Structures are given as C-alpha cells and as structure tokens.
Structure 1
Amino acid sequence: MSVQKIKEDVFSLRANDWDRTLFDELIPLPDGTSYNAYVVKGKNKIVLIDTVDPRKTKELIDDLKSLDLHRIDYIVSQHSEQDHSGSIPEILKMYPMAEVVTNKKGKEFLTELVKVPEDKFLVIEDMGTIDIGGKTLKFIFTPWVHWPETFSTYLEEDKILFTCDFFGSHIATNDLFATNEGKVMEAAKRYYSEIMVPFRTSIRSNLQKIKDFDFEIIAPSHGCIYQNPKMITDAYSDWSSDDVKNTVVIPYLSMHGSIQKFVDRFVRKLQEKGIDARPFDVVTADIGNMAMALIDAATIVIASPTMLSGVHPKIAYVAYLANVLRPKAKFASVIGSYDWGGREVDVLSGLLGNLKVEMIPPVLIKGDGREEDLKGIDDLAERISQKHRSINL
C-alpha cells in the first residue's frame, strides 16, 4: 500500500490485492483488485473516506501513520460492505475521537456487520454537507449501486467525486490514475458485470443525479482514479441502457462431442448472417468474460446435453448466474442433445425465470443427429437473425 497525492491535502491510500483471484468467490480476477481509502485534510478537520478490507488493515494503519495524522475527525463510510468498512473498528481504536459519518441505513448495517458502537455515528441526510475548513463535503445518496445505503461524497472545492463501488474496477496497479484506458475499462466492465448488472434502473437514476455536479475527478474505492470522468460515466450510460448489440452469447457443455458439433455449426451460421457469436465452454471458460459478454448481448442460447433427465450441474450454474444477473437480453433459446428423453428445456426455462426475454423454440436433437435434424440449428440461426433485424440491430 502507498500514499499518493491527488490534489493539495487530498490523498489516496490504496491497498492492492495482487493475489486475489476471485471476487465474491465467484468471478475470476485476472488482475487482482484494490481497496481504496482517501484522506482529506481541511483547516479544521481531517476526514478518512472509506477504509479497506480487514485483511489489509495493517497497511491502512501504516499509511495513516506515514501521513503523521495526530487525529481523524470523521470516517465517512459510503458503503457498509466489509471490504470497505471492515477496518473501521481498528481505526476507531487509533482515533477514538472520530465520528463515523453515514446515513440512517448505513448506521444500521455498520452496527450489525462490524459492531460500530451506537454513540460513534454522525448520521447525514441526502445532499447534506460538512465544512472541514476550506473544504466542503456534500453527500449524495446513490442507493442500489449495489446496496441500499450507498452514497457518494463530493469535495466541492477540489471537484472530486468519491463514489465507493460506483464506477469501480477490479485491478491491482501502482498507477494512481486510469492512464491505461483500455486495460482499466476492461477491468471496469468485468466489475460492472459481476455486481452492477441487476441494478441498471438505479444506475440510470443515479447517473442523472450526479450529472449536474461539476466534478473533474472520480475516485472510486476499487481500481484507478478517473481524471477523465466522462470515460466511465459514458460507459455506465451505455451498459445500463436498454440498448443491446447484435451478439449471441452461447454457454455450452459437451459431454460426448455432440453439443460441440452443434455449437460449431450454430456459430458458423450466425457469423454468416453478420451476427457476433460468442461461445463459452462452461467447463473451461472464464466466467467473468462470459458475464461481460452478457452485458450487451441481444440473445442467449444455452447448449447442453441432457443429464439424468435434466441438465448438467455446470449448465445449471450458468443459467442460475444469468438469472441472478438479469442481463438486458431480448431473446433466449436452447440447443439440446438427448438419448432417450428428459426435461432439459423445462429445467432451463425454470432457471431463467427472471429474464424478461422472448423464448425462441428450442432445437432438440437425438444423439449426434442426422443432417435433417441439424437443419434445425440453421433454422434457429435464421430466426435469431430475423429477431435481431426486427429491433434494428
């Protein structure tokens, strides 16, 4: 961890987690992640904005000591999840005079989750302010990105918007700012795909809420700081919109080669029609890459053999994940292979109940299939092409 200056009397205290390979024990992290805390020094008060994951508490304490802070007056807790709030109890031991600044819901969570004493809170309201001497903090409630209590903090004089999980990215790096835009945006999209996709409506509302603030810097609590805020706000506007791309995502699993053959043919037929086809073998694929592809896809087609009259557990897992994330796809279908029968389509349809999609009739083929059976795959590609054209893709 290291202390880096953002502006005069404003510092980043970043704990890089280079070795973290999974986030929420779900999505692979090829570039690790970071937990970012911030210190703002006013003439009268000193503020710590967010803390870090409990596993990095010692690094945060060392950095606070390196700043030679004899006091912290306020600990602003923008989000109560433990990777941002988990170090608060130890910081309160160091700075017992500090008050924990949060909203009513945040107080409820922090009391329960990290056992902050009731008498340590300063509860703020939406658009409330704190003057710390030459610097003013304004609190902007941005709920459901991705918890109900989350808020952002606007440092008026320095035009910095601290956003916690909002606009974050999973990347461990020594770069303070998002200078490698391609790399950072890929990490930001992976981050968005894991936790933000189900909250598109709230994200759109919160983007509208912050748009009239004159901020030059966005400082999230994961990943790099944006000196070009429009880069990430435009991306969030795109990702959270109802617009989809001419893309079909195809999670598949092949036990004996039949499904692999069907998927290969299906991908070729879609590509011939100018459709971006993205197959993912669920046994070996990076689920994070698949989740990123799901953000924009117009159609999802799950391809699976029948197993014990249902579906393979890995396919069930992917269907469950898609159902939880609720991507904005418009259409869905199934390609199945069976030997003697089963309820594969019924099982998958049940697992996808949260998706607001039009179900296109499935293609079910016995064994390897005959040529006339395989033409059903061609017909499915054509139906999808027609559906995509119907919404002007």
Structure 2
Amino acid sequence: MDALKLYDNGHQWYVFGRDPEKPEKIIDTNQFMVVDGDRSILLDPGGIEVFSTMLASVLKYVDIEQITDLFASHQDPDIISSLGMWDQVLPNAKLHASWLWEGFIRHFGMDNVAYSSIEDNGGRMTLNNIELEFIPAHYLHSSGNFHVYDAKSKILFSGDIGAALEPPGSALFVEDFDSHISKMRYFHERWMPSDEAKHHWLKRVRKLDIEIMAPQHGRLFKGDDVQKFFDWFEQLHVGIAID
C-alpha cells in the first residue's frame, strides 16, 4: 500500500490507500496519518483485512511508539474493524470517537487502547504543536459522525462525504469534477439520509479555509474543486432509496 505526503511544513499528512491486494468484494478505503514530531494519529485506520499492509506501510514513516492516537469518524467496519489488531501493537494509544459508539466499537477489541469520547458538539485535540478540530457531521451518514480539520495545513478529512467508489489504480485527486459526479451521485443520494443535516454541515465547513478535502473512499478534492463539491452537494437531494 503506497503512501502520498499531502502536507509537510512543521508537521506531515499522509494518505494510504488503493490497496492492490484487497479482496475483490471489499470496499477500497483511504487511511490518513498526521505526524508531528514524536506523536502521530491514524484517521480511520481501516478494516481488519488491510491491517498488516497498513501497519507495514505506516512503519516506513514512523516508529510504532510514535503512533499515540487513533480516530474513528464513525462505527463502520470498513474504517475501524482493524482496531483489535492495533490494540495489540499500541498498548498506550487513545481512540477518539463519538461517545455514541463506544459500546459498538468495543466489539472490535479494546483491551489496551483507551476510549476518548467526543461529545456531539465536537471538540479539539493537540498533537504536540498542532491543533486538530473534530467537526460534527451527524447523520452524514452515521448518527454519530465527525470529521477532522487542520487549520495549519488547510486539510479537511471528510469521512464519507465526497466519497466515490472506484477501482484500485485510479488517480488520487479529482481531475475533472463534472465527470466525477457520476461516481459520487448514487453513494450520496443513498447513504446521506438527511437534507437538513447536509445543510448544517455545509454551513459549518463553508466557514473553514480548506485547500484539500479528503474523503475515506475515492479521490481527494483540491483547490477550486472543494467549492465545486460544496455547491454540487448543496443542491443534491439526499436520502433516496425508492423513487
């Protein structure tokens, strides 16, 4: 699993994804790591099936002792079912996730990793010299859901918002926004259940200075494509299962 450095100026952002060895029917995911000195946090570290590949890839950039924190945007297995494996190799780490999902996430295994609950209105954490903000994104698509914003790098980790389902080997960044819409539309119409929640999220994130929006599936948005996504998502009617 290859990694690409998204930011490097005092601290670093890495994205891991496009696993060429994943089973055919397993959804492809993007995993992210933020590093500042001797501390790092893994954002949505992935499913159990990618744990060994993910661990080997991460250790190319940090020592195991430097992985001090984990973050789960919500409770889905594609982004957190590897927790039981991380629990065995990270005896002193802390998992940051919604208070709502502690009883569910513990089913993945938590003997050593501590659970740090995020309240519904969000919060912040300090990673050495940087501050990461937990942005509420409830009901998009989980009822207890958060994104992560880094004001210094201007990166928003947006969880399932902006997601697209594409085969391994596709480009990392959106290259033609209009043609990319067809890869996002059904996912957002079906998996985002609330127009009201969507508008609350848009009102919040439009106030942020964002250079890169990084979802957990598919391609990342950069520069003007971030605003294009906001405009497209705003007019999209979501929560559609049966016409």
TM-score range, shorter chain: 0.7 to 0.9
Shift in alpha-carbon separation, 1:55–1:184, aligned structure 2, 3 A: farther
CA 117–211 in structure 1, closer or farther in 2 if over 3 Å, else same: farther
Q: Is contact 2:124–2:131 with CA below 8 Å preserved after alignment?
A: yes
Take 1:110 and 1:17, find their aligned partners in 2: how far apart are those partners? 27
Equivalent residue for 1:140? 135
2:235 is aligned with 1:235: no
Q: Which amino acid aligns with 2:236?
A: W
Runs of 4+ in 1 over 3 A off after TM superposition: 15-23
Q: Counterparts in 2 of 1:1-393, with a 5 A limit?
A: 1-8=1-8, 9-16=12-19, 33-71=27-65, 72-112=67-107, 114-117=108-111, 120-125=114-119, 126-172=121-167, 173-196=169-192, 198-227=193-222, 228-240=225-237, 321-322=241-242
Q: Is the 8 A contact 1:10 1:41 kept in 2?
A: yes
- Secondary structure class of the residue paired with 1:102: strand
What whole-Å deviation, never above 9, does each CA across 1:143-166 have from its counterpart, x for those lacking one? 111111111111121111111112
**2: CA distance, partners of 1:152 / 1:209:** 11
CA contact (8 A) 1:15 1:60 kept: no
Q: Match for 1:193: what amino acid?
A: E
Match of 1:355 in 2: none
Deviation (angstroms), 1:21: 6.8
> Is contact 1:142-1:152 (8 Å) kept?
yes
Deviations 1:48-92 (A, max 9, x none): 111112222222122112224332111011111000011122122
Structure possessing the higher radius of gyration over alpha carbons = 1
Are the counterparts in 2 of residues 171 and 184 from structure 1 also a CA contact under 8 Å?
Answer: no
CA RMSD after TM alignment: 2.4
Cα distance per residue 1:2-53 (max 9 Å; x no partner): 1111111110011447887768xxxxxxxxx521111101135211111112
User: For 1:240, what is the secondary structure of its paired residue?
Assistant: coil
Query: Using a 3 Å threshold, how does the CA distance of structure 1 residues 203 and 119 change in structure 2: closer, same or farther?
Result: same
The number of aligned residues is: 235
Question: Which digits, 9 at most, give the CA deviation of each residue in 1:326-369, with x for residues without a partner?
Answer: x6xxxxxxxxxxxxxxxxxxxxxxxxxxxxxxxxxxxxxxxxxx
With normalisation by structure 2, the TM-score equals 0.86
CA distance in 2, matches of 1:64, 1:92: 15
The answer on whether the counterparts of 1:17 and 1:34 sit within 8 Å (CA) in structure 2 is no
- In the alignment, structure 2 segments of 5+ residues that lack a partner are none
> CA 1:184–1:48 in structure 2 vs 1: closer, same or farther (change >3 Å)?
same
* Identical-pair percentage: 17
Contact 1:184 1:224 in 2 (8 A): no
Change (3 A) 1:168 1:18: farther
The alpha-carbon distance between structure 1 residues 175 and 119, as it changes in their structure 2 partners (threshold 3 A), is closer
1:170 & 1:48 partners in 2: Cα distance?
22
Superposed CA offset, 1:246-299 (max 9, x none): xxxxxxxxxxxxxxxxxxxxxxxxxxxxxxxxxxxxxxxxxxxxxxxx96xxxx
Query: For residues 17 and 179 of structure 1, do their structure 2 counterparts lie closer, same or farther at Cα, with a shift above 3 Å needed?
Result: same
Shift of 1:110: 0.7
The verdict on how the C-alpha distance between 1:179 and 1:115 changes in structure 2, with shifts beyond 3 A counting, is: same
Q: Secondary structure at the match of 1:75?
A: strand
Q: Which residue of 2 aligns with 1:359?
A: none
What is the SS of the residue equivalent to 1:146?
coil
Helix, strand or coil for the counterpart of 1:218?
strand
| Cα contact 1:52–1:87 (8 A) shared by 2 | yes
Q: Distance in 1 between matches of 2:134 and 2:199?
A: 18
In structure 1, stretches of 5+ residues that fail to align are 24-32, 242-293, 296-320, 328-393
Indicate the structure whose relative CO is greater, using CA pairs within 8 Å and at least 6 residues apart.
2
When residues 19 and 44 of structure 1 are mapped into structure 2, their CA distance, relative to the original with a 3 A threshold, is: closer
* CA displacement 1:211-255 (0-9 Å, x = unmatched): 2111111111111111021122111111138xxxxxxxxxxxxxx
Q: Is the 8 A contact 1:3 1:14 kept in 2?
A: yes
